[in-house]
Each structure stands twice: as structure tokens, then as C-alpha cells.
């Protein structure tokens, strides 16, 4: 081991957008403001070991995912680090060894970019902050959020729990297109919100999110979409503070359907939901209406369904999922998650000892 070697390790969660980010421009800047709940069980753990270069040695990168070399991911990580440029000049003085793993199975159909890119940004930002001599403070989190955004837009929101907002909007002071900000005074019902993720398909989606964002440029409904997202945010913020789950659920569902409607009206048009997505959605609505249980659906850019509900209804909702919904899930797979507090610094030994899944 090199004497001056530095090690950083972080666990960072995924997030689920309630008001969706869809469409981007410039340097990964959002076309509309978005708001998400930070999750906790679906996370990435990343360790970065930075070894000072020997004389005449060029900077380099060793990368392992789930304990194994992965050339495709390694290339993406190398391109990302180059892209950070002046945000992380310190990386040029080190050979970097990055080890990363997810708490959820890689092929589960869960988007891992938010957790992966935020965990990586945390490690690199901490390396830079250590060299610059500034400790973990608000500035550090903001720098992490900016760096995470450059890896994957939605990743910038994972830096804060239990909820965060990204995108400049006049209805939230301090909001920015460049980084997310934490939302304070969230009602306890949302601080412990449950999110059961029904895996309808484990397959990689046909059209990537990047391609989907690009199709929003010149989309016939682009202006209307920006107005809709802003209005939904305006309605959602007071509901988040007061604990109004009905308004929250109405917006979550409307946003999910709008996101997929935008895909279906893109040019070229495409469809990511599947028959079983609709089966689950229809059953969720019927269950809510017949039992009065406040359970609401939302979707990411894919066929999997997120069911959102208060912790107080956990037992009933899990029983209903087990009785009625498992046949619609690929291999009967459901991931039960909940709102969380955001990233955690971990000791490197924990990270390297992660079990492979």
C-alpha cells in the first residue's frame, strides 16, 4: 500500500421522481423542474482509492463492478471523469481504483444511474475537497450535486433526503438548473413513505432515457409539459408539508401517465409500458377505491410500477401485493423500499466486503 494513498467510500440511494424531469438541454440542464423522494434500500456503494502517481506515470483508472472488471462501465466512468474537468482537477494526480456494487440485482430493471452516479460523485468530490482542504458542508453537497448531474440528471437529487428539488423555478427560492436542493419540513407521512417496486420486466429498455430526453427537443407538447410540471410542483409543495397524501398521489399518478404520454407522442413514438404495467395500475386503482387504502402508482422511464403508500398501511398493502400482484411481476419480483435520509459515508472495509448478488 502506498503511504499517501487516499480512500473514500459512500453509499448513495436511488430516488423516485414525483414530478418528473423529462427533456434536457445544454450541459445536462433540465427543461422543467422536478421533485423526488430519496429511497434507501436501492443503493450503490462505491469506494475510490486514489494513489499518487509515480514519476512519469500517467493518470489511470482501475474499475470493478460487483468485484469484476467491466470494460463497458469502465469506459463510461473514464469519460465521466474527463467530463468533470475543472470541477475535479485533483484526479489528474492519481491512479484511481474504483470499486462499485448495487444493493439490488443489476438486471432487475431498476434504473441504477441515480444511485451509481451520485455515489461516484460523492467519492470524487470528497477527494477534491480533501485536496482543497474544505470539509463536508453545504458547499460540498452542492458540488456533489453538480457533479452527479453531469453523470445522470436525476442523480443530482439523490444527494439529499427525504425529498429534493432540481431545476430553476420561481416558486422555490434557491432552486437551480445546476444542482438539486433539499426540501425541509416534509410531513412525517412522506419522510417514512413506502415504495414497493413491482418488477414487470427485467429487460433493458428499448429506448434509453437519454434518447427520450432528446426527443423532447421540438416535441409538439414541450411547452405544455413545462407548464404542467411547474403547476404540479406548485400544488405538490404544500401537500408535502401538510401531509396531504391524496393530492400527492393524484400528482404522482398524473405525472407518470404524462411521462409515458410524452413518449407515445414523440417523433418517433415509442411505448415502454407493458400489458402487465396496466394490469397493476388498474388493480391499484380498484384496490384503493374498494378498500380506501391510500396507495398510488408512479412510473419511471420503463414498465416497472412503483406503489407509494404510508408506512401505517404497510401490512395491508404488502398482503394485497402478495395475493394479487405477484403474477404480473417477472419472476414474482418486488423490491420493498422506503424514503430515506440520503447518502451515507461508509468505511471502506464495509464496501469491499459487499456480498455479490
Please say which residue, 34 or 169, places its beta carbon nearer to ligand PMV. 34
Q: Binding segment for ligand PMV among 41-49, 138-146, 152-160, 243-251 (CB under 6 A)?
A: 152-160
Separation CA 243–CA 289 (nearest Å)? 20
Q: Give, as one character, the DSSP assignment of residue 104.
A: S
Instruction: Please give the torsion angle defined by the CA atoms of residues 208, 214, 218 and 221, in that order, rounded to the nearest 10 degrees.
Output: 50
Check binding of 153 to ligand PMV (CB under 6 A).
yes
User: Would you count residue 191 as binding ligand PMV (CB under 6 A)?
Assistant: no
Which of the residues 209 through 228 are near ligand PMV (CB under 6 A)?
209, 213
Position among 8, 14, 17, 306 found at the interface with ligand PMV (CB under 6 A)? 17
- Beta-sheet strands, E only, within 204-323: 296-299, 305-309
Residue 94 touches ligand PMV, criterion: CB under 6 A: no
Told to check if 14 binds ligand PMV by CB under 6 A, we report: no
Rule CB under 6 A: choose which of 101, 126, 253, 300 binds ligand PMV. 300
Smallest distance from ligand PMV to CB 277, Å: 14
CB of 176 to ligand PMV, least distance (A): 16
Binds ligand PMV (CB under 6 A): choice among 102, 108, 145, 152: 152
Q: How far apart are CA 319 and CA 325, in angstroms?
A: 10
CA-to-CA dists, residue 202 to 42, 186, 302, 332, angstroms? 15, 33, 10, 11
Q: Which stretch binds ligand PMV (CB under 6 A): 150-158, 174-182, 239-247, 308-316?
A: 150-158
| Span from 42-50, 147-155, 230-238, 311-319 in contact with ligand PMV (CB under 6 A) | 147-155
**Angle between the 113-132 and 71-84 helix axes, to the nearest 10 degrees?**
50
* Number of shown-chain residues binding ligand PMV (CB under 6 A): 13
Give CA 312 to chain center in angstroms: 25
Peptide bond into 162 cis (omega under 30): yes
Query: Closest CB to ligand PMV among 152 and 351?
Result: 152
Q: Which of 20, 95, 194, 333 binds ligand PMV (CB under 6 A)?
A: 20
User: Which of 112, 295, 276 is CA-nearest to residue 198?
Assistant: 276
Q: Which residue has the cell 453509499?
A: 11
How far apart (Å, rounded) are the C-alpha atoms in residues 271 and 257?
12
The residue behind cell 427520450 is 212
Which residues lie below 8 Å from residue 39, measured CB to CB, with a gap of 6+?
Answer: 13, 14, 15, 16, 195, 337, 338, 339, 340
43 interacts with ligand PMV by CB under 6 A: no
Stretch of 16-24, 53-61, 223-231, 239-247 contacting ligand PMV, by CB under 6 A: 16-24
**Which positions touch ligand PMV (CB under 6 A)?**
17, 20-21, 34, 113, 152-154, 209, 213, 259, 300-301
Amino acid at each position: 500500500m502506498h503511504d499517501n494513498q487516499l480512500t473514500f467510500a459512500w453509499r448513495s440511494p436511488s430516488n423516485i421522481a414525483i414530478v418528473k424531469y423529462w427533456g434536457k438541454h445544454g450541459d445536462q440542464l433540465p427543461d422543467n423542474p422536478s421533485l423526488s423522494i430519496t429511497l434507501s434500500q436501492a443503493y450503490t456503494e462505491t469506494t475510490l482509492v486514489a494513489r499518487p502517481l509515480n514519476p512519469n506515470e500517467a493518470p489511470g483508472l482501475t474499475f470493478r463492478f460487483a468485484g469484476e472488471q467491466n470494460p463497458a462501465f469502465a469506459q463510461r466512468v473514464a469519460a465521466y471523469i474527463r467530463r468533470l474537468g475543472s470541477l475535479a482537477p485533483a484526479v489528474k494526480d492519481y491512479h484511481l481504483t474504483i470499486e462499485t456494487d448495487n444493493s439490488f440485482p443489476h438486471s432487475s430493471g431498476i434504473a441504477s444511474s441515480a444511485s451509481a452516479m451520485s455515489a461516484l460523485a460523492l467519492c470524487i468530490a470528497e477527494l477534491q475537497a480533501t485536496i482543497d482542504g474544505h470539509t463536508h458542508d453545504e458547499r460540498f453537497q452542492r458540488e456533489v450535486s453538480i457533479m452527479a448531474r453531469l453523470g445522470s440528471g436525476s442523480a443530482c437529487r439523490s444527494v439529499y433526503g427525504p425529498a429534493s428539488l432540481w431545476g430553476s423555478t420561481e416558486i422555490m427560492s434557491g432552486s437551480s438548473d445546476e444542482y438539486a436542493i433539499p426540501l425541509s419540513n416534509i410531513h412525517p407521512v412522506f419522510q417514512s413513505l413506502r415504495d414497493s417496486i413491482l418488477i414487470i420486466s427485467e429487460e433493458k429498455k428499448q429506448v434509453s432515457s437519454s434518447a427520450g430526453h432528446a426527443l423532447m427537443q421540438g416535441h409538439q407538447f414541450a411547452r405544455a409539459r413545462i407548464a404542467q410540471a411547474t403547476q404540479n410542483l406548485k400544488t405538490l409543495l404544500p401537500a408535502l408539508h401538510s401531509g396531504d397524501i391524496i393530492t400527492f398521489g393524484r400528482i404522482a399518478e398524473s405525472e407518470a401517465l404524462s411521462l409515458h404520454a410524452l413518449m407515445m407522442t414523440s417523433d418517433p413514438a415509442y411505448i415502454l409500458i407493458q400489458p402487465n404495467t396496466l394490469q397493476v395500475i388498474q388493480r391499484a386503482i380498484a384496490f384503493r377505491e374498494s378498500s380506501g387504502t391510500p396507495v398510488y402508482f408512479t412510473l419511471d422511464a420503463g414498465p416497472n410500477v412503483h406503489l407509494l403508500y404510508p408506512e401505517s398501511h404497510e401490512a395491508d398493502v404488502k398482503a394485497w401485493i402478495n395475493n394479487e400482484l405477484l403474477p404480473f411481476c417477472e419472476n414474482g419480483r418486488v423490491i420493498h423500499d422506503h424514503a430515506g435520509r440520503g447518502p451515507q459515508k461508509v468505511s471502506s472495509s464495509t464496501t469491499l466486503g459487499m456480498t455479490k448478488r
